[in-house]
Amino acid sequence: MTAPQQIRVRFAPSPTGYLHIGSARTALFNWLYARRMGGAFILRIEDTDAVRSTETSYEAILDALQWLGLDWDEGPLIGGPYGPYVQSARQVLYHNEVQKLIERGKAYRCFCTPGELQEMRSDATERGLPPRYDGRCRNLPGDEVERRVMQKAANVIRFRMPAGKTRVYDLIRGAIPFDNVELDDFVLIKSDGKPTYNFAAVVDDAKMKITHVIRGDDHLSNTPKQVMIYKALDYPLPKFAHLPMILGSDKTRLSKRHGAASVQEFRRIGYLRDGLVNYLALLGWAFDDKTEFFTRENLIKKFSLKRVGKNPAAFDPDKLNHIDGEHFKKLSLMEKVVLVFDRLQEHDVFPSDFNVSEWSIAELNDRERASVIERKETNNSHYRDELPRLAIIIKVMGNRLKNLKDAPNMLAYYFKDEYPVDHRAYEEHLSNANTAEHLKALAGELWELETFDRSTIEKVARGLAEKRGISAAAIIHPCRVALTGKSVSPDIFSVIHLLGKEKTVQRLGAAVDHIVGLPKK
């Protein structure tokens, strides 16, 4: 019995820019299918566009795929049995294959000048026909072709499109017929000797034994041309699956005008890679009509091309934020601490002159405390000083900190004196002379404390409200705005504890000065 053929899929980006989120979705679907089917995921770089291809873009694509966790089984950096995996290094192969087509009468040299080609297009347009090549070099005598080649006349090599129809079977869209009369004799090799996309992709896919071509539906119009090349070269035909396009909010193809459009941008903004991968999987695919949260392992187990839809997928930032938040919520405390610390450092939230105290880690459970102590012993001194405090801050924040990307804005007031403030909260809570007196009294009592822990701070604040004959809220709400710049925060007594005595008293004093300095009503 013959062993079943191994599933082999490929992702073949052009290094002409950063990895677009739509291309990342295509890479993900290929990767998931390979992992689900026990197959191989091949990365190939299609750099035949010498003008736009750059080394920077090449490196950016590899970096983005590595960050997403889409490891490849063959390709750049690791090699494989069918390399090289960069098209510019495979030129001899393309010329050998196109020579076979010429010898079989399936392709021919065309010597038409750019001016003649433009004239053909204009003439066709005037007659209400699609602009196309009119085939005038199709039947040039062999000796004439040879003479012009000897004279080094500029030429391209065109495919000789046969009459009839080409039927493409797509795993997502079913059977799609194409009339060959609509397909002109397209170019295989350009005048500079470089292969066109359609020709190089077919040769590479065949030589790399690709069994399934999974790509965006913008390539659907290329498929009949490629099928004809497969047949002309007696290559086995792979199975095709064309993924639905991704649309922005205005129902046009997702691009930079809709906001972040590349993997690098989403990474810079602060999305988790597993959150982004989860969301990308839902753009055109669904396991059922209710499940949205998937771990990477679950995606591999449940992914199927049968559940990929035909209709365009709408990119929804709110849904991305929700799914990213669900992944952030599932992280352990120390996983959050490490990610948040790096995020805060990237945004310069840790000023070197900010007074950092040694914080008790008594509020952490045994496992969390052990993890903090371990990391304190293995990281740089600034990391060691901040880790226990940051761990408590994140624990106190709870689910208020929904996404990693929000950490700099939401946590800045713990670490620096310049942080986002809600001016409406100032107007509502820091505009009354009586409030200034309450805050001044609170600052005084807090300053006198010898034990500065959460429970003692709460007793002082509530006791002060009782002594003054006011509600605790009359002190707590203004205090919250004075310390955080917001009308909403975690437990204010924990905030005071984490800010420390000196910083709390300083900010309460600044709030008093703010109220006193307001114009009298």
CA dist list (Å): 359 to 188, 367, 387, 395: 69, 17, 9, 14
- The span from the CA of 448 to the CA of 505, in Å, is 11
Under 8 Å between Cβ of 32 and 63: no
Which residues 6+ apart lie within 8 Å of 111 measured at CB?
Answer: 137, 140, 148, 153, 154, 155
In this structure, the strands spanning 8-11 and 40-43 are: parallel
| DSSP assignment of 205-274 | HHHTT--EEEEEGGGGGGHHHHHHHHHHTTPPPPEEEEEPPEE-TTSSB--GGGS--BHHHHHHHT--HH
Under 8 Å between Cβ of 97 and 203: yes
Strands, E, within 8-88: which ranges?
A: 8-11, 40-43
Quickly count: other Cβ atoms within 10 Å of residue 90's Cβ.
19
Tokens 């002309």 belong to residue: 232
Task: State the SS3 of 404-432.
Answer: HHHHHHHHHHHHCCCCCCCHHHHHHHCCC
- The span from the CA of 394 to the CA of 294, in Å, is 24
Phi/psi at 152 (nearest 5 deg)?
Answer: 60, 35
- The span from the CA of 236 to the CA of 231, in Å, is 8
- The span from the CA of 429 to the CA of 511, in Å, is 10
- The span from the CA of 64 to the CA of 19, in Å, is 7
Q: What residues are labeled active site?
A: 256
